[in-house]
Every structure is written in C-alpha cells, then in structure tokens.
A and B are shown apart, each in its own frame.
Chain A
Amino acid sequence: QSVLTQPPSVSGAPGQRVTISCTGSSSNIGAGHDVHWYQHLPGTAPKLLIYGNINRPSGVPDRFSGSKSGTSASLTITGLQAEDEADYYCQSYDTSLSGWVFGGGTKLTVL
C-alpha cells in the first residue's frame, strides 16, 4: 500500500489527452511538499518529467504538464503518442514518515 495513491492504469488513443491523479494526505502533498513525476520504461532509468508540481525540465515536451491542489496532484499528457506508453510515478516527501514517498505507479497504454 503506497502512501501516495495513483490509478493502476489509464489509456487513451493517439492524439487524446489523459490525466493521472496522485492523492496524498496532510503529511505529504497537503503539507506543502513538492510533487515530482517520473516516466519509467521497464529495464531503463526512470526519467524526471515534472518537478516542483508544475515545472518541466529542459527537453521534456510541453505536452506534459503538472498541477497540484490541496492533498492531490495530477499529471496531464495531451496529444498522446505511442512513445508515451510507460509507467508514471508521482513522488513527494512525507513529514510523518521522515522520508521520501512514491505513488504506486500508473501504467499508460496508448491504444
């Protein structure tokens, strides 16, 4: 059971938009800790996609965007492409646990 809750899977057709939610609590996201998002293809190094809730590192397409409100955060991908098929993880810090926490991960399938 992950501290941050994500849907196990989402899917969409090429060109469509999908949103992945990340629900936390008052000791992590709700406490004001930043949320970061990572893209992970099995067997490869996870890649930073969004940092500080809404910021994109250089090189990440603007099709990827992040938001945060209260105890939740979201990752939105517009103009879905086949290459977006991967696992996506949210991550934050938890004050009660005194440690870094991840969501359970969401598998994105491009139909």
Chain B
Amino acid sequence: QVQLVESGGGVVLPGRSLRLSCAASGFSLTTLAMHWVRQAPGKGLEWVAFISYDGHNKYYADSVKGRFTISRDTSKNTLYLQMDSLRSDDTAIYYCAREGKIRGIYPFDFWGQGTLVTVSS
C-alpha cells in the first residue's frame, strides 16, 4: 500500500538551512508527480513546491521561490525539500503529497503525516 513518511524537521535558527525527506513506498516516484504542502500554526494548508514525474519540471510558491529546492533520489524513492535562508514565517508542519492520476484528474491522493519545522532564535 502507498505510504509517505516525512522526516528531517526540527528547530533551526533564522537564516539557516534544513533538508526534509519524504520516503515513498508502494509506488515509484518516477510514475507520479509530488508536492510539498505546509501548514503554519493556526493557519490553513499552503502549497509549497511541485516536481513532475520525470523530475524535469519544478514549480514553487512565490513565498519560497529562490530559497527552497525540491528534488528526489529515484534510487531511494525519496523526495526532498532543501530549505535555505529560513525565516520565522516558514515555521509549519510540512507534508509531502502524491499527485494521483484518477481518470485523467490529478488530486493530491495520498499525504504523509507531516514533519514540524520551527524557525526560531
């Protein structure tokens, strides 16, 4: 069955970096696109980044463009989010989500449990 397990969260100083991982099982990252979505404390869900099934296309929310990088290691079937120049407003639970393909429709059909990132001095 499909499973997504995030890791790598923690407490980090403003301006520092952190890399999140999302280990996928039950399917191959080479077959479907993936996203990172975050939820700040007391706030709603916010889309962060996208990587296509072939790894060629990557898109980012304006709030993280130039600071965050999405990537993957297909040999480990693991998705990553490299977060640089972190700010206090990046504090959130970060979820990885699979973009499914159901009858030509592309919802986020499976999500991980999330990993908490706290940016604080």
> A residues touching B (Cβ–Cβ < 8 Å)?
2, 34, 36, 38, 40, 43-48, 51-52, 55, 57, 87, 89, 91, 97-105
Contacts and interface: CB of A to CB of B under 8 A. Distances in A.
Interface stretch (B10-18, B44-52, B73-81, B84-92): B44-52
A91 to B, nearest CB: 7
Contacts of A48: 100, 107-110
Interface of B: 4, 35, 37, 44-47, 50, 59-62, 95, 97, 100, 102-103, 105-114
Contacts of A46: 45, 95, 97, 108, 111
Contacts of A40: 45
The binding surface of chain A is classed by DSSP as strand
B5 to A, nearest CB: 10
B114 A45 contact: yes
Contacts of B4: 45
A57 B37 CA distance: 21
